[in-house]
Amino acid sequence: MDATDRDAIAEAVRRAELRTAGEIVVVIDRAASSYRNVPVVMALALALLVPWPFISLTAMSTQRIFMIQLFCAVLLLGTLLWYGRGGRFVPGFVKRRRAHDTALREFTARGLTRTKGRTGVLLYVALQERYAEILADTGIDDLVEQKTWNGVIEALLVAAREDRLTEGLIAAVDAVGAVLAQHVPPRPGDVDELSNKVILL
Classify domain 3-34+91-200 by CATH number.
3.10.310.50
pTM, to two decimals: 0.77
pLDDT (tens digit, 9 = 90+) per residue, 165-175? Answer: 999 999 999 99
Give the residue extent of every domain in the chain: 3-34+91-200, 37-83
Gap between the Cα atoms of 190 and 180, Å rounded: 14
**Angle made by CA atoms 185, 190, 191, in degrees to the nearest 5:** 125
Length of the chain: 201
Gap between the Cα atoms of 63 and 58, Å rounded: 13
Rg (CA), the chain: 24
Would you place residue 62 in the very low, low, confident or very high pLDDT band (cuts 50, 70, 90)? confident
pLDDT (tens digit, 9 = 90+) per residue, 109-136? Answer: 888 888 888 888 999 999 888 899 999 9
